[in-house]
Structure 1
Amino acid sequence: MRRLLAPALSVLMLAQGAAPVLAAGFDDQQKQEIRGIVKDYLVQHPEVILEAIQALQARQDAEQANEAKGKIADLRDKLLRDSRDQVIGNPKGDVTLVEFFDYRCGYCKQAQPIVMELIKADPKLRVVLKEFPILGPDSLVASRAALASVAQGKYAAFHEALIASRGALPDDKIMEIAKTVGIDTEKLKADMSSPAIAAQIADAHSLAEKLAINGTPSFIIGDQLIPGAIDLEALKKLVSDARSACAGTC
């Protein structure tokens, strides 16, 4: 039976994508013995399964990251230079951080003070905000309201107030928040129905789809796509790396 151990482990490695096909040529009894050895090995060493899953996830993440780099390059102007998008930080900054976000997303709310701290720490950082409502009708209404507030010059304050809010965001609460930052809510309601606003949100969704972004927050900096929340030091490192690599072009 021991003579079958190496082939059995090779079959196990094959399941992890690490060996050529070795099972061909075994008779049924040998295959059954191999299955038994592999089963026994996995029962005795279940950590191998976790290691295999982690290796597979790492490989998939690397493949997705490489694929994203090419797509980011192709979509760079739409990501960084869409004149409709709102920009915070330094509008003429040498590095741009793009954030896809949803006002009802708890992780976006956690990320907001981190982004603001990053802006405070880096006066050369430009941040592009992509309204990406994906958490239901309230999210969509909040994004439409935020974009409509641009006409009153109140986007930045309204954006921060919406992100800072807790709980649900029904229409009446959105309007109450708007009033607190000095927005004319009657004008806001009228402006929210603009086809241009609907088109802007639709374009953000199209961009996200092309980049396989399906959650918020998602960040893009340089040629990197970072899904999910990220801590301040990690963001600073990404900004520094992008600044070194891009020389003011990203």
Structure 2
Amino acid sequence: MTQCLKLCPSFFVRFLAVAGVIVSFFATPAFAQDIDRGKIEEIVRDYLLKNPEIIAEALTELERREQAAEVAAREQVLSDSSDILFNSTRQVVLGNPQGNIALVEFFDYNCGYCKRAYGDMVRLIDEEPELKVVLKEFPVLGQGSVEAARVAVAVNSVAPDKYLEFHEALMLGRGQANNAKAIEAAKSIGISEDQLIAAMATDEAGQTLEEVYTLANRLGLTGTPSYVVGNEVVMGAVGYDQLKSKIAALGNCGETTC
């Protein structure tokens, strides 16, 4: 597992879904006729026990169809939401703001995988002059994460030139990120606490997080880190090599999408 809070349906739940569909199908008037449901269930059970590979085949096909549907849905969302995804005024941009290759990362300050992936992002920015990295605050690991994200939004508002330094302090720091720890990190790099508190009193943080949550929900994101590279959604801390490969492919296209 390379992602915080990634949810997957259990095999048992999926098995019941497939079995239910089979029973329901054979219970339709075209098949049922004068046979009652109990008799149908007995026939289906006997058939499945004699041919258990059918369930495996059905589950494989169900998963294939679900994945295809998810990919198609995400591609449509990426197309419909490209402006807010890549160019929102409520986001942080690192690297080359005018770069023709975009990498979007949804992250949580309390996500261990995000912390490990931080070095990948820095390395990619150093190596790719055309790379535009967009950071989306996506606190999914509790109240402390939400608090840290709100401080981060305030930092970007009052001292955007110091955001990366602040971001690194929290990403590389130990312990649970929360309001107190985030403010302390901001103060340590010379940001006024009074300015932060004033910025946090506005609704900017709430609107920023709401924008990200809505976008993440539409993309079907269930954990952090999650990335968007061109027109592809990438789940989990896949590592430098995979991200580098996907970015290189976009570079060969000469634009953010192939």
Q: Please tell me whether the aligned partners of residues 26 and 40 of structure 2 are also in contact (alpha carbons under 8 angstroms).
A: no
Aligned amino acid, residue 205 of structure 2: I
1:36 equivalenced with 2:46 (yes/no)? yes
Aligned amino acid, residue 190 of structure 2: G
Q: CA deviation at 1:195?
A: 1.5
Superimposed CA distance per residue, residues 91-142 of structure 1 (whole angstroms, 9 cap, x where no aligned partner): 1211101111111122211221122222222221110011112222211111
Inter-partner Cα distance in structure 2 for 1:249 and 1:31: 53
Q: Alignment partner of 2:255: what SS?
A: coil
Q: 1:119 to 1:50 in 2, by over 3 A?
A: farther
Q: Which residue of 1 aligns with 2:225?
A: 217
Q: Which residue of 1 aligns with 2:99?
A: 93
Q: Which residue of 2 aligns with 1:125?
A: 131
Inter-partner Cα distance in structure 2 for 1:33 and 1:202: 51
Aligned amino acid, residue 36 of structure 1: D
2:201 corresponds to which of 177, 193, 198 = 193
Q: Alignment partner of 2:102: what SS?
A: strand
Q: CA deviation at 1:242?
A: 2.6
Inter-partner Cα distance in structure 2 for 1:60 and 1:112: 31
Inter-partner Cα distance in structure 2 for 1:142 and 1:175: 8
Q: Please tell me whether the aligned partners of residues 150 and 205 of structure 2 are also in contact (alpha carbons under 8 angstroms).
A: yes
Q: Which residue of 1 aligns with 2:9?
A: none
1:241 equivalenced with 2:239 (yes/no)? no
1:227 equivalenced with 2:235 (yes/no)? yes
Q: 1:191 to 1:222 in 2, by over 3 A?
A: same
Inter-partner Cα distance in structure 2 for 1:85 and 1:25: 57
Q: Which residue of 1 aligns with 2:10?
A: none
Q: Which fold has the larger relative contact order, with Cα–Cα distance below 8 Å and residues 6 or more apart in sequence? A: 2
Q: Which residue of 1 aligns with 2:11?
A: none
Q: Alignment partner of 2:187: what SS?
A: helix
Q: Please tell me whether the aligned partners of residues 152 and 182 of structure 2 are also in contact (alpha carbons under 8 angstroms).
A: no
Q: Please tell me whether the aligned partners of residues 165 and 189 of structure 2 are also in contact (alpha carbons under 8 angstroms).
A: yes
Inter-partner Cα distance in structure 2 for 1:195 and 1:36: 61
1:70 equivalenced with 2:73 (yes/no)? no
Q: Which residue of 1 aligns with 2:192?
A: 184
Superimposed CA distance per residue, residues 155-210 of structure 1 (whole angstroms, 9 cap, x where no aligned partner): 11111111222331233222222233222223222222222232122111122222
Q: CA deviation at 1:52?
A: 4.7
2:111 corresponds to which of 105, 113, 128 = 105
Q: Which residue of 1 aligns with 2:4?
A: none
1:61 equivalenced with 2:67 (yes/no)? yes
Which of these two proteins has the greater Rg computed from alpha carbons? 1
Q: 1:148 to 1:25 in 2, by over 3 A?
A: closer
Q: 1:219 to 1:165 in 2, by over 3 A?
A: same
Inter-partner Cα distance in structure 1 for 2:40 and 2:81: 54
Q: 1:41 to 1:217 in 2, by over 3 A?
A: same
Aligned amino acid, residue 251 of structure 2: R
Q: Alignment partner of 1:154: what SS?
A: helix
Please list every run of 5 or more consecutive structure 1 residues that lacks an aligned counterpart in the other structure: 1-13
The normalised TM-score by structure 1 is 0.79
State the aligned residue count.
230
Q: Alignment partner of 2:88: what SS?
A: coil
Inter-partner Cα distance in structure 2 for 1:229 and 1:168: 20
Q: Which residue of 1 aligns with 2:169?
A: 161
Q: 1:181 to 1:212 in 2, by over 3 A?
A: same
